[in-house]
Amino acid sequence: MDCMDTPWTRTRTLTRVTRILGFDDGWLADDSLSPYTMRRTRTWSLDAMPASLRPTVLQLAVDQHPWIDLFPCPRMRDSFLRMIQVHGENAVDEDELCRDYADTAGAKKGLEDGASAIVWSDPWSPHGWELTAGFVKKWPWFLQGCVELQAGMNAWRTRRGLERLRFLGC
C-alpha cells in the first residue's frame, strides 16, 4: 500500500477496515452505534477479523460510535471507552480526535508538528501505523500501553530518520 498522505487514501484505508468488519455505510451517521454493542442478532464473525480488530470486552459492553471500532490497537479502543465511562461522554472531544486521527488538519501544519496518523501498510495492523510527535503529545492517555502500535510507529519513524517516541506505560 502507498504512503497514506492524502485524504483519499485515508478514506480508502478506513473503507478497507469497515469492509473487513462488515460495516455498511450506516456507520457514518452521527447517531450510529457500534454493531458490537447493539442488542440484537450478531451480524459479525470473529473468524473473519484480524486479531487486532476483534472487539474487546469493553467494546461489547459500552455503547459507542462505530468509528471507535476502527482503531487498529485494542488498547486504544479500551482507553477511549474507559475515559468516557469514568469521566462522561464530554471528557473527549471526539470530533477533534477523529480529525487528528484521520489527519484532516495535521499534515497541513507540517508532518511532525501536526497531530496526525499515517498508514504505511495494512490498516488493520498496529504495525502499519505511524503517529506524529504532535499526536503522541496531544493524546497520551489514548495511546497508553499500546506496545504494538509504538513498535510499528518507531519502525516507520526510524526508516525515515526520525526520533523514536514512547507512549505512557510502554
Whether 29 is in a domain gets the answer no
Q: Is the pLDDT of residue 61 over 70?
A: yes
Whether 36 is in a domain gets the answer no
Per-residue confidence at 123, pLDDT binned at 50, 70, 90? confident
- In the chain, the number of structural domains is 1
Worst-scoring range by mean pLDDT, 104-108, 132-136, 146-150?
Answer: 104-108
Whether 138 is in a domain gets the answer yes
Lookup: cell for 17: 477496515
pTM of the predicted model, to two decimals?
Answer: 0.84
Per-residue confidence at 150, pLDDT binned at 50, 70, 90? very high
Residue 7's pLDDT is: 36
Worst-scoring range by mean pLDDT, 4-18, 20-34, 61-75, 114-128?
Answer: 4-18
List, in order, residues 6 or more apart from 24 with CB less than 8 Å away: none
Whether 35 is in a domain gets the answer no
Indicate the DSSP class of residue 91.
Answer: G
Whether 105 is in a domain gets the answer yes
Q: Is the pLDDT of residue 53 over 70?
A: yes
Whether 33 is in a domain gets the answer no
**What is the extent of the structural domain holding 131?**
1-18+58-170
Whether 25 is in a domain gets the answer no
Instruction: Give how far Cα 1 sits from Cα of 69, 89, 160, Å.
Output: 22, 35, 17
Query: Phi and psi of 118, rounded to 5°?
Result: -125, 135
The most confident of 15-24, 36-45, 106-115, 125-134, by mean pLDDT: 125-134
Q: Are 128 and 120 in contact (CB under 8 A)?
A: yes
Count Cα atoms within 13 angstroms, Cβ side, for 84. 18
Whether 30 is in a domain gets the answer no
